Amino acid sequence: MKLYLDTSSPKTILKLDDKTYEWESGRTLARDLHKFIHDKLVENNADWQDISEITFFAGPGSFTGLRIGATVVNTLAQDLNIPLYNHRGEKVDVILPEYGRPANITPPKK
């Protein structure tokens, strides 16, 4: 089963083969992303080990969303020993988020 994931916006997009799922993840992405993916796998009578490859939309987009999604797909690909692709179809060892601009990090107020 091919998995595609896009966490670049508050609406997470997951594709499992030819089925597309959308989830208004908002601020719950880090907490609930694994459950969302697993629930959709189970709906398709599948489990983690049934994933044969992963494609991830690396950006541009939400700084935090891209970091969370990249961490999840990098970990899954490594643990499952499966190919990992960026959204341009290039096979990669590790997904690095493409923010489209430098990170907007606010300096401490004190």
Q: What is the pLDDT along the chain (110 residues), one digit of tens a residue?
A: 999 999 999 999 999 999 999 999 989 999 999 999 999 999 999 999 999 999 999 999 988 999 999 999 999 999 999 999 999 999 999 999 888 877 677 888 87
Contacts of 57 (CB under 8 A, 6+ apart): 4, 5, 6, 7, 8, 13, 69, 87
Find the domain containing 54 and state its range. 2-92
Q: What is the CATH number of the domain that holds 52?
A: 3.30.420.40
Does 99 map to a domain? Answer: no
What is the total count of domains within the chain?
Answer: 1
CB 7 within 8 A of CB 64: no
Does 10 map to a domain? Answer: yes
Starting at the edge strand that comes first in sequence, how are the strands of the sheet with 19-24 ordered? 19-24, 11-16, 2-6, 53-56, 84-86, 91-92
Does 48 map to a domain? Answer: yes
* pLDDT at residue 109, as a whole number: 84
Does 59 map to a domain? Answer: yes
